[in-house]
Structure 1
């Protein structure tokens, strides 16, 4: 292989890697001792580095928050079933299963036409 191709491939890789790094924000937080010790236990149990563990925990927490928001808004009649599934970032079938698990009634007259149109 020509060294000029290897050089351009390496340059492209470095560029792509720099774009990925630049697109990731940095968050810092002060943790109470209890949470810090729980985080350490999580790191050990999952065999993760601190950055990966915090990213995973934040992603899981935000996913749960989106689902709760969607269920609450659906239950309050603020949004249609389809819109609630979008808020939760779930397919309609996954969201139906979640609503059933959480005992949230989602078939109602107010948004039924919107839901039927969306299907």
Structure 2
């Protein structure tokens, strides 16, 4: 669980910086972006990660390259799902076609998956080195 928390922190910081500078083209958008990103990553990202881990165990995919792509695709789908949920709760619209927010949701969730994957890989290499 500590890996998920650290990955959520890393994702929140990286995504906030990237979204403010690349998507909004304004460094003053970092605080408003962070006010949305941090709660969403912790409230939706960590539970989605737990569900994705259970799905991966049910699918019995080993840690091959194909399994990583399946896992990242599941994270992308979770990002779309969270974005749909956000549109529904905030704007009352269940689906907003053509919105760039879906790209941001997918980018944030895939970034979370990559951070979590990197942390787990680092932990495995440290365990193997100590053995």
TM-score in terms of structure 1 length: 0.30
More contact order relative to length (CA 8 Å, sep ≥ 6): 2
Q: Bigger radius of gyration, 1 or 2?
A: 1
Give the structure with the higher percent helix.
2
